[in-house]
């Protein structure tokens, strides 16, 4: 009894140290952001003009211009070609961008709001990772793999994901670089967390608001529905059925057979339609409420039709061809106008064509499916930024245990470092020094898109290989 008590006390102290280290690193990340905001405001103001950090849709400077047009000039915030965001975001963040009497902008308040959004998003990632890990342990116990997996080293995916999101340089640049992307990333993570924990109203409001601000999170509706229907990620259903059939053939005792079937049935997650119906109702209610607020906000400036044209229409038609880290601006600057609409349809449908096959193949891992969708959208969206990569890599940390066998992890790490260092250099050579041309900067955009493709393919292959490994272990254990 004394030895057991000592083991328990040692394990509890280890958990406490681990929790303390997490909070120390998390608070240090927040302090580091605050130091940058308060002590280096002049340097941070230059980030607002960087195409890698802010886009025509997420720029805080454009939002300040739209708020000035609405409040000071009493005209539509969508007049001209500056602001293309949500009128609700304009009402929330607009007053925080007003310049005071001394000529100093109060953008610092927006930066503090973005710091809070990053911190809460990291906590939600941590809670999501803990939920996924508990579901992983539960399913491994049902398959009889607890002893094998218990002997291997299991990383705390929630802690790793949260700290990786907080200390990712791309996340820090987005937070302090006068971009509204931290709000969008927070809403996406909120939707995934609500779906993992089956908090339907939370999942609905996160998904609706994220779609309202950026449009592309609409594709996450499928992973959210699968999460609400099936629950968190788990091995394929056929593994449990295979184990049940083998054990049924080996054990003839009725009591043993009943125990095996009962354990297998509890492990297999059957699709539940009740949370799906509730999600549709909540999402519809939130959508109507948000559209009503938007209608009230823009009723004197063209109404909802003008808002849709200036926001979603601006995103889909690629009206602004200013350079960014994407591949579409250069393509549509070179393509003939006669073929423009055709290529717009091809590029946008390219995202939609990938949704259904991936959902069919990975329906047993809906949270990982959400990560894949985010990675694809960050590669093919019209106005991407480093915030999309920050969100994608943050979600990647949730599956650190399953994706340890990725073949190109070192190549991806070096590639991301190289692209993020070369992108501002090539932009400076082209725009300011005049010793380069657009092809210099576009080469880094192509390299970035190639890295995203490698990340999606390699991670999906590693996850499928992990499922095959579990199937082999299950087959070996049931036969023995």
User: What's the token pair of residue 436?
Assistant: 């380069």
Are 32 and 172 contacting, i.e. CB atoms less than 8 angstroms apart? yes
- Mean local confidence (pLDDT), 235-257: 56
- Mean local confidence (pLDDT), 392-400: 92
Confidence band for 1, pLDDT divided at 50, 70 and 90: very low
Report the range out of 103-112, 192-201, 332-341, 398-407 with the highest average pLDDT.
192-201
Give pLDDT, residue 9: 41
Please count the other Cβ atoms lying within 10 Å of the Cβ belonging to residue 24: 10
Nearest to 394 by CA among 162, 133, 154: 162
In a domain, 19, yes or no: no
- Mean local confidence (pLDDT), 7-27: 57
Write the DSSP assignment of 284-343 as a string of letters: HHHHHHHHHHHHHHTTTTTHHHHHHHHTHHHHHHT------SSSHHHHHHHS-GGGHHHH
- Mean local confidence (pLDDT), 445-461: 93
Rounded CA-CA distance 461/405 in Å is 9
More confident residue, 257 or 36: 36
Please count the other Cβ atoms lying within 10 Å of the Cβ belonging to residue 112: 16
Write the DSSP assignment of 115-166 as a string of letters: HHHHHHHHHHHHHHHHHHHHHHHHHHHHTT-HHHHHHS----HHHHHHHHHH
Nearest to 360 by CA among 223, 476, 264: 223
Buried b or exposed e, range 133-159, using 16+ CB within 10 angstroms = bebbebbbebbebeeebeeeeeebbbb
Confidence band for 96, pLDDT divided at 50, 70 and 90: confident
CA distances from 291 to 253, 283, 297 (A): 61, 12, 10
Share the mean pLDDT of the chain. 83
User: What's the token pair of residue 103?
Assistant: 């000529």
- Mean local confidence (pLDDT), 325-332: 89
Are 191 and 210 contacting, i.e. CB atoms less than 8 angstroms apart? yes
In a domain, 401, yes or no: yes
Task: For helices 340-361 and 366-380, give the axis angle rounded to 10 degrees.
Answer: 160
Rounded CA-CA distance 470/239 in Å is 8
Rounded CA-CA distance 436/49 in Å is 19
Task: For helices 107-142 and 157-167, give the axis angle rounded to 10 degrees.
Answer: 160
Confidence band for 12, pLDDT divided at 50, 70 and 90: very low
Confidence band for 436, pLDDT divided at 50, 70 and 90: confident
In a domain, 213, yes or no: yes
Are 187 and 44 contacting, i.e. CB atoms less than 8 angstroms apart? no
Give pLDDT, residue 135: 83
Q: Which residues contact 394 (CB under 8 A, 6 or more apart)?
A: 121, 122, 125, 161, 164, 165, 168, 171, 185, 189
- Please check the confidence at residue 339 and state whether its pLDDT lies above 50: yes
Give pLDDT, residue 334: 86
Rounded CA-CA distance 162/128 in Å is 10
- Please check the confidence at residue 6 and state whether its pLDDT lies above 60: no
More confident residue, 306 or 139: 306
Lowest mean pLDDT across 11-15, 57-61, 262-266: 11-15
- Please check the confidence at residue 3 and state whether its pLDDT lies above 50: no
Nearest to 234 by CA among 266, 261, 273: 266
- Mean local confidence (pLDDT), 440-463: 92
Nearest to 396 by CA among 380, 409, 414, 411: 409
Confidence band for 105, pLDDT divided at 50, 70 and 90: low
- Please check the confidence at residue 29 and state whether its pLDDT lies above 70: yes
Rounded CA-CA distance 186/175 in Å is 12
User: What's the token pair of residue 205?
Assistant: 């409001």
Give pLDDT, residue 242: 60
- Mean local confidence (pLDDT), 348-359: 89
In a domain, 93, yes or no: no
In a domain, 95, yes or no: no
Rounded CA-CA distance 128/429 in Å is 43
Confidence band for 257, pLDDT divided at 50, 70 and 90: very low
- Mean local confidence (pLDDT), 471-480: 71
In a domain, 339, yes or no: yes
What residue has token string 């609400």?
Answer: 228
pLDDT above 90 as % of the chain: 38
In a domain, 285, yes or no: yes
Lowest mean pLDDT across 55-59, 198-202, 299-303, 415-419: 299-303
Confidence band for 144, pLDDT divided at 50, 70 and 90: low
Domain that holds residue 432: 108-234+269-479
In a domain, 47, yes or no: no
- Mean local confidence (pLDDT), 152-166: 85
Number of domains in the chain: 1
User: Virtual CA dihedral for 73, 75, 77, 82, nearest 10 degrees?
Assistant: -70
Confidence band for 434, pLDDT divided at 50, 70 and 90: confident
Confidence band for 391, pLDDT divided at 50, 70 and 90: very high
């Amino acid at each position: 009894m004394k030895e057991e008590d000592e083991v328990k006390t040692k394990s509890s102290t280890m958990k406490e140290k681990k929790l303390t280290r997490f909070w120390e690193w998390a608070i240090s990340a927040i302090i580091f952001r605050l130091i940058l905001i308060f002590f280096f405001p002049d340097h941070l103001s230059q980030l607002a003009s960087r195409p890698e950090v802010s886009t025509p849709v997420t720029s805080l400077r454009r939002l300040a211009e739209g708020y000035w047009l609405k409040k000071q000039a009493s005209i539509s915030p969508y007049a001209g070609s500056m602001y293309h965001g949500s009128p609700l975001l304009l009402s929330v963040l607009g007053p925080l961008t007003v310049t005071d009497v001394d000529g100093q902008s109060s953008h610092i308040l927006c930066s503090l709001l973005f710091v809070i959004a990053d911190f809460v998003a990291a906590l939600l990632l941590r809670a999501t990772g803990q939920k996924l890990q508990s579901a992983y342990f539960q399913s491994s116990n049902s398959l009889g793999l607890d002893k094998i997996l218990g002997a291997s080293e299991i990383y705390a995916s929630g802690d790793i994901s949260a700290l990786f999101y907080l200390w990712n340089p791309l996340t820090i640049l987005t937070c302090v670089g006068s971009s509204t992307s931290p709000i969008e990333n927070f809403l996406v993570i909120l939707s995934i967390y609500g779906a993992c924990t089956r908090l339907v109203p939370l999942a609905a409001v996160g998904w609706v608001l994220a779609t309202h601000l950026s449009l592309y999170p609409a594709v996450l509706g499928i992973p959210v529905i699968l999460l609400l229907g099936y629950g968190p990620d788990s091995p394929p259903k056929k593994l449990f059925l295979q184990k049940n059939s083998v054990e049924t053939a080996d054990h003839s005792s009725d009591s043993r057979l009943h125990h095996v079937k009962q354990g297998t049935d509890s492990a297999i997650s059957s699709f539940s339609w009740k949370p799906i119906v509730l999600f549709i109702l909540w999402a519809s209610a939130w959508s109507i409420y948000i559209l009503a607020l938007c209608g009230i906000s823009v009723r004197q400036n063209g109404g909802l039709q003008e808002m849709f044209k200036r926001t979603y229409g601006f995103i889909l038609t690629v009206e602004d061809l200013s350079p960014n880290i994407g591949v579409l601006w250069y393509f549509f600057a070179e393509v003939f106008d006669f073929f423009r609409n055709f290529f717009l349809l091809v590029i946008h449908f390219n995202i939609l064509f990938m949704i259904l096959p991936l959902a069919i193949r990975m329906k047993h891992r809906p949270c990982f499916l959400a990560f894949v969708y985010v990675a694809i959208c960050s590669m093919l969206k019209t106005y991407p930024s480093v915030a999309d990569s920050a969100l994608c890599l943050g979600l990647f940390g949730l599956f650190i245990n399953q994706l340890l066998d990725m073949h190109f992890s070192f190549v991806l790490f070096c590639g991301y470092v190289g692209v993020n260092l070369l992108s501002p250099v090539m932009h400076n050579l082209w725009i300011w020094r005049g010793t380069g041309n657009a092809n210099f900067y576009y080469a880094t955009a192509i390299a970035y898109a190639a890295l995203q493709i490698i990340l999606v393919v390699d991670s999906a292959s590693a996850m499928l290989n992990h499922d095959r490994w579990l199937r082999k272990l299950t087959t070996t254990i049931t036969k023995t």
